[in-house]
Amino acid sequence: MSFLAKVYDVELRNIMKKFQNNVVVQDFNLQVEQGEFVSFLGPSGCGKTTTLNMIAGFLEPDGGDLLIKGQRMNGVPPYKRELGMVFQTYSLFPHMTVAENIAYGLKLRKVNKAEMKERVDRVLSLVKLPNVADRYPKQLSGGQRQRIAIARALVIEPSLLLLDEPLSNLDAKLREELRDELKRLHHEIGVTTIFVTHDQEEALSLSDRIVVLNHGFVEQIGTPLEIYNEPASEFVHTFIGKTNRLEGEVVEVNGDRLTVRTNEGLLIHAAKQTRKFAPNQKVIAFVRPEKIQLSATESNEAENNVKGELQIASFLGSYTECEVKVGGNTLSVKVQKLIDKATEQEAAKGIVCYWKAEDVLIMPTERG
């Protein structure tokens, strides 16, 4: 290694893992900068937890190199890696009090009593639970337990914090609360963090960068904005957020503008495409539900204006989710305003959906 080579907090070089003859992670390359918050996002079985377990040392890669702070870690047992980890099931030691749980890692590092107490107190106030030191884990709520688990991981001042779906055992409201808490903690401490989740909202809201994984392959690595707006593949686009997926073929190309006719005959205008297409090429057009507007009359600003009939309107608090039948296609539309009964009946007879050409994403049909 050259002395000029940049040292990353975590570096994966061509990491590969197989179980029996099943390759579960392949060609995983990643560099994590100091202080970065990186999420591994993907459906179950995509290899995200396997990769995290390799970084932690619970699994050994079958190929490639794993470096933490520039040191090759292949073959180093977990207890020598100086990492912090938070598990889905909290994994607090039930026979120890909260204070003993947190002090466990400090005891192993032979920290003296006075300093131990000070550090335990400090980290307890950091997670905003200063008064539970003498309780046992089972006397705490799920959210409190996970905060203690985070405190236990942070108190040893790890070089790297690993979070293995830490929020997925909590109910919706607590999950959001703890998500904000994680964000605040990362802001305050700045510890390099790798976060495994299958929840795209968690990944989008917390991460500096997201690694989208599917079937053991890295689909895309990018900032939340890049992942959302410039998906590298159909999988990334459909996995992150809801979308309308319309298959069809290109009828006209004009620079970065093109027109697509869906298989059901709907004409869609698209603009600002980064990919190149040719006429008659089989493609898929994507439009996010929140980019589509509903109106009684056609819009002059939007290139796409289609007439349809409102079929279902579900009021979901801050927004309303609608399904609009447009010819042979059904569009999912998300609108901010409330739709009252009268409007709904009116819209069932006829309504205009409109959206801008630049809000359409065109991708080639895979294997075609």
Partner 1 sequence: MSRRLSVTLLTAPALIVLLGVFVIPMLLMLLLSFQDAQQAFSLENYALFFQDTFYLEILWRTIRVSLWTVLATLLLGYPVAMFMAQATGKMRGIVTMCILAPHLISVVIRNFGWVVVLGEKGWINETLIALGMIETPLRLLYNELGVVIGLTDSFIAYMVLALATSLYSIDPSLNKAASILGASRARTFFSVTLPLSLPGIVAGTTLVFSLSMSAFVTPALMGGTSVKVIPVLAYEQIMSTLNWPLGAALAFLLLGSTIVLVSLYTKLIENKRYKEVFAS
Binding status of residue 82 toward partner 1 by CB under 8 A: yes
Binding status of residue 368 toward partner 1 by CB under 8 A: no
Residue 8: CB minimum distance to partner 1, A: 20
Binding status of residue 75 toward partner 1 by CB under 8 A: no
Residue 42: CB minimum distance to partner 1, A: 21
Whether residue 299 contacts residue 354, with contact meaning beta carbons closer than 8 Å, is answered with: yes
Binding status of residue 73 toward partner 1 by CB under 8 A: no
Binding status of residue 83 toward partner 1 by CB under 8 A: yes
Binding status of residue 248 toward partner 1 by CB under 8 A: no
At 167, list the tokens: 């929020």
From 41-49, 87-95, 269-277, 317-325, span contacting partner 1 (CB under 8 A): 87-95
From 35-43, 91-99, 177-185, 202-210, span contacting partner 1 (CB under 8 A): 91-99
Binding status of residue 141 toward partner 1 by CB under 8 A: no
**Nearer CB in complex with partner 1: 82/247:** 82
Among 105, 143, 166, 289, binds partner 1 (CB under 8 A): 105
Among 9, 32, 68, 81, binds partner 1 (CB under 8 A): 81
Segment 120-139, which members bind partner 1 (CB under 8 A)? 136
Indicate if the alpha-carbon torsion angle 175, 179, 180, 181 is positive or negative: positive
CA distance 62 to 48: 16
Binding status of residue 89 toward partner 1 by CB under 8 A: yes
CA distance 162 to 12: 15
Among 78, 142, 241, 364, binds partner 1 (CB under 8 A): 78
Binding status of residue 77 toward partner 1 by CB under 8 A: yes
**Nearer CB in complex with partner 1: 38/85:** 85
Residue 132: CB minimum distance to partner 1, A: 14
Binding status of residue 206 toward partner 1 by CB under 8 A: no
Residue 66: CB minimum distance to partner 1, A: 15
Residue 178: CB minimum distance to partner 1, A: 18
**Nearer CB in complex with partner 1: 149/185:** 149
**Nearer CB in complex with partner 1: 155/347:** 155
CA distance 271 to 244: 17
CA distance 361 to 368: 17
Segment 318-357, which members bind partner 1 (CB under 8 A)? none
Whether residue 240 contacts residue 212, with contact meaning beta carbons closer than 8 Å, is answered with: yes
Binding status of residue 20 toward partner 1 by CB under 8 A: no
- Between the CA atoms of 87, 89, 94 and 99, what dihedral angle is there, to the nearest 10 degrees? 40
3-state secondary structure of 184: helix
The closest alpha carbon to 100, from 124, 70, 120, 72, belongs to 120
Written in H, E and C, the secondary structure of 120-164 is HHHHHHHCCCCCCCCCCHHHCCHHHHHHHHHHHHHCCCCCEEEEE
From 73-81, 124-132, 241-249, 269-277, span contacting partner 1 (CB under 8 A): 73-81
| Beta strands in 62-114, from DSSP E residues, in sequence order | 63-68, 71-72, 83-86
CA distance 320 to 344: 12
Rg value, the chain, Cα: 25
Burial 190-203 (b: 16+ CB within 10 A, else e): ebbbbbbbbebebb
- Kindly list the residues in this chain that would bind partner 1 in the complex (CB under 8 A): 56-58, 77-85, 87-89, 91-95, 104-105, 108-109, 136, 152, 156, 162
